[in-house]
Chain A
Amino acid sequence: MTKAIPKIGSRKKVRIGLRRNARFSLRKSARRITKGIIHVQASFNNTIITVTDPQGRVVFWSSAGTCGFKSSRKASPYAGQRTAVDAIRTVGLQRAEVMVKGAGSGRDAALRAIAKSGVRLSCIRDVTPMPHNGCRPPKKRRL
């Protein structure tokens, strides 16, 4: 059996809506599920991890910006790793599929963190599409 993930107490946050139909709600920060899909969107400047249940409903999401990583010089692979660990520990996954999209620097770190986290992975799928190219440069201007 997989090693048990240490239990995280549920965090409660209260929000007050601004709209006419606003209501006071008291709810947990994330649903805890044991089986789901992890989506990794790895761009060059940010990494977004989204956990859904097998039907596709979003349970939890996290991004490097949310974890506090900001830089205009480079995107850190550590940010991707931290994002992935944050997502998995909050939801308490035990079994998952992984869908990866993007070519950024946080991609490999996030995948490695997911692989090491103890979650049993049934498949890892790369759904990165073919990127668009630019045009051919125009002719030299004749003066």
Chain B
Amino acid sequence: MARIVSRALPFASRSSLRLPLPPPFPGAALVRSAAAGSPLPPAAEAALAASLLSWRGHTATPESSIAAPPPFAGFLAGIRRFRKGRRGQASAKRSQPQDAPPPPPPPPPPPKEREIELVARIGIEEDMPDDPEVLNIVEILKLNVPMAMKIALDGLLDSSYSTRDTSISDVGKYDKVEVSVLLCNDNFIQDLNKEWRDVDCATDILSMSQYIPDLDVPILMLGDIVISVEAAERQAGEKGVTLLDEVRVLVVRGILHLLGFQHESSNEAAAELEKEEQLILKSLRWKGKGLAKSVLDSSKPQTDSLDGQVTNDLKKAGSLRFYKPKFKYIFCDMDGTLLNSKSQVSARNAEALREARSRGVNIVIATGKARPAVIDALSMVDLSGRTGIVSESSPGVFLQGLLVYGLEGRRIYKRNLDQEVCREALSYSIENKIPFVAFSQDHCYSMFDHPLVDSLHYIYHEPKAKIVPSIGQLLETAEIQKVLFLETPERISSALRPYWAKAIEGRAHVVQAQPDMLELVPPATSKGNGVKVLLNHLSISPDEVMAIGDGENDIEMLQLASFGVALANGSDKTKAAANVIGATNDEDGVAQAIYEYAF
């Protein structure tokens, strides 16, 4: 990531800029308001007043500017001694448990010149709905963000981090330090991300620095922290914390970014940012860990069911009320469902899938096709790839549940057809001159150069079949998951299906996903079984799953999900097993199902 050049100015240039200023220069300081003075209190009352002022400095008081005096040694030394005293008070506060949040303070008198005022301006973006939870978070942040700023700024003098940008080092010469926090939704932060970083996707937080190194004004404007409440809500749901806790963690990270910490440049920088973040969160006793630690924690298996219950309670307590999709996952078939009669994804279906994904619903493809076929079919509507809904690194169920890929595209399940069944099937196809295709993970094999075999590639987007000369060579080179016979629908229903249902009884299973195709798959295997394996791997319950399908092989998947949609062009058995019947695949049935039942 590009380093912030404007903040990399050396400290010497700043001091050289101030050298030409003579101390008694009359116009150097601005007088904007009269500050009434009082005699200096004695030491005991000074300590009490200091603690009161230190407490008052945390509030977001109305802005009052006091001119900065010309800098001289005594003043700066006084500021440094005073700030050391405050750090001692912070240590004293740290030992006390904070059971309840402090009551909102009465409007204080204008703070004295010694106290550095910490101002946090919290705003809500205009398009956000008026949600009472978000407004409540804004009121809490008005108290919490100055506390976080205080601990972060106090830590600057002690810190010896090597990767921090040290443009902001000593804030003793400022009267006020200001931070702007804006809560928005995903659309707003996506527009910002696209405009200022050329990344066209939503993110959880953006930190935009406003610091100008050589500007000698009494206000230190750190910058903006923009937080997407929708992204924070999703992350809070994943971590099992409330939305307020997640927003506070993001605010702490944003403040550290504005002070010069980074995590994108190197691992050492990320470790230092993490260390400072943990320090601040521990001092304030705020819930939630840094983002990196949460990643480590989530990889450990949760064996305690009580913790699971507590997590569920926390999820319910912190749920966001203005929007939540009904399902987290939509399992979708391809042939006869997402693909129309020409084996293409229509524009309206593609638009529905894209919108569902942007609202936080995950689309998982469960199909009898091979994975390259799905990627090829969806690439025509720009839905494949890392940012699409299917890629080499996304979960999915392929080859009728014989190949299941989990998170990051890792294979979590594979089932092969029995060798003897393969041999019998291949011999049968040679004797009766019926073209077959053998599926082996991402490849297809055949012994026929036949138009029906070619149609698998040109119409159904399957990988192009490789021609092998003999059965023995095919069985040696490939692990076959399923065998596909291609024949006319009449001949399949009258001759092939009864024969093979009887011949391979107990050793394999007959599936007919299309009228003109007969598939032999291993026994006790179905698409529903593959979906079950994937649900276990993703740690989601069927209540969060919606399924859309049309064929007989989709019946178990529709029954397994909490909400099943069968398209009108499907078989009667499938319609009987589903919750609702949608439109046909030629009438954009997937889009209609998504718009009507998922949102």
User: Chain B interface: which size bin?
Assistant: 35 or more
Residues 115-137 of chain B, each 1 if its beta carbon lies under 8 Å from chain A, else 0: 00001011111100000000000
| Docked-complex contact A134 and B208, CB < 8 angstroms | no
**Central interface residue in A14, A41, A70, A128, by most chain B CB within 10 Å:** A41
| Docked-complex contact B67 and A15, CB < 8 angstroms | yes
Given contacts A18-B113, A48-B219, A130-B196, A139 and B407 within 8 Å (CB-CB):
yes
Given contacts A19-B75, A41-B210, A50-B217, A131 and B196 within 8 Å (CB-CB):
yes
Of B30, B180, B197, B215, the residue contacting A131 (CB under 8 A) is: B197
Of A45, A55, A75, A130, the residue contacting B197 (CB under 8 A) is: A130
| Docked-complex contact A43 and B197, CB < 8 angstroms | no
| Docked-complex contact A52 and B215, CB < 8 angstroms | yes
Given contacts A13-B32, A21-B74, A28-B27, A102 and B210 within 8 Å (CB-CB):
yes
Query: How many pairs, one residue from A and one from B, have CB atoms within 8 Å of each other in the complex?
Result: 230
**Central interface residue in B214, B215, B291, by most chain A CB within 10 Å:** B215
Given contacts A128-B208, A130-B4, A141-B240, A72 and B215 within 8 Å (CB-CB):
no
| Docked-complex contact A27 and B31, CB < 8 angstroms | yes
- Could you tell me which residues of chain B, from 220 to 266, have a CB within 8 Å of some CB in chain A? 221, 223-224, 226, 231, 234-235, 238-240, 250, 253-254, 257, 262-264
| Docked-complex contact B224 and A104, CB < 8 angstroms | yes
Bound form: Cα–Cα A38–B448 in Å: 78
| Docked-complex contact A139 and B299, CB < 8 angstroms | yes
Bound form: Cα–Cα A128–B221 in Å: 13
- In the complex, what residue of chain A is closest to B263 when comparing beta carbons? A135
Residues 52-87 of chain B, each 1 if its beta carbon lies under 8 Å from chain A, else 0: 000000000011010101001011001000000000
| Docked-complex contact A18 and B38, CB < 8 angstroms | yes
A101 to nearest B CB, angstroms? 6
Q: State the main secondary structure of chain A at its contact with B.
A: loop
| Docked-complex contact A138 and B295, CB < 8 angstroms | yes
A137 adjacent to chain B (CB < 8 Å): yes
- Could you tell me which residues of chain A, from 101 to 140, have a CB within 8 Å of some CB in chain B? 101-104, 127-135, 137-140
| Docked-complex contact B69 and A50, CB < 8 angstroms | no
B5 to nearest A CB, angstroms? 8
Apart from A16-B34, A74-B126, A141-B298, what are 4 other A-B pairs with CB-CB below 8 Å? A28-B26, A41-B212, A132-B205, A135-B204
Give 5 nearest A-B pairs by CB, closest first. A45-B121, A65-B63, A31-B27, A43-B180, A134-B205
Chain A residues at the B interface, C-beta cutoff of 8 Å: 13-22, 25, 27-31, 39, 41-46, 48, 50, 52, 55-61, 63, 65-66, 70-75, 99, 101-104, 127-135, 137-143
Chain B residues at the A interface, C-beta cutoff of 8 Å: 1-2, 4-7, 17, 20-21, 26-38, 40, 62-63, 65, 67, 69, 72, 74-75, 78, 112-113, 119, 121-126, 138, 142, 178, 180-182, 192-193, 195-197, 199, 203-210, 212, 214-217, 219, 221, 223-224, 226, 231, 234-235, 238-240, 250, 253-254, 257, 262-264, 291-292, 294-295, 297-299, 301-302, 308, 311, 407, 538-540
